[in-house]
Amino acid sequence: MNSLIVQLSSAAAAGSMLLVLWAYLPLAWRLRDPLGRILAAAATVLALAYLLRSAAWDWAHLPSGPAVNAAFNLLIVLAAYLFLRGRLLTIPEPERSHWRWWTAWAHPASRCLIPWRRK
């Protein structure tokens, strides 16, 4: 019973990520707006990372190890980078030059956790 629940939940999660991948992959190529294109690419990479991880562990029962984990983790890091690049594009133009993709999560400065960025 427990194995069936795991397999059903894995199938539901993989199916939903497949829908996300199907929905956002064309947008990553077609959108002209830089923010939309970056966010669509980030969603695509994140969904792909999940699907590959699910296929390897939940369905194919492939051996896992540091190299396999590293490959999946690099896809997740790429998705995070794309999401943060997109967040940078949402910062108003006059302020944007003071921020980088790795600090954009902390905008606006009034809610920033970095002491030297607080206003």
Tens digits of residue pLDDT in 46-95: 999 988 888 777 777 766 667 777 888 889 999 999 999 999 999 999 99
Q: How much of the chain, in percent, has pLDDT values that exceed 90?
A: 34
Enter the pTM of the model.
Answer: 0.75
CB 71 within 8 A of CB 57: no
Q: Judge contact between 52 and 21, C-beta under 8 A.
A: no
Give dist(CA 100, CA 83) in Å, integer: 13
Torsion of CA 110, 116, 117, 118, to 10 degrees: 10
Mean pLDDT for the chain? 84
Separation between Cα atoms, residue 116 and residue 68, nearest integer Å: 38
The rounded distance, in Å, linking the Cα atoms of 44 and 71 is: 16
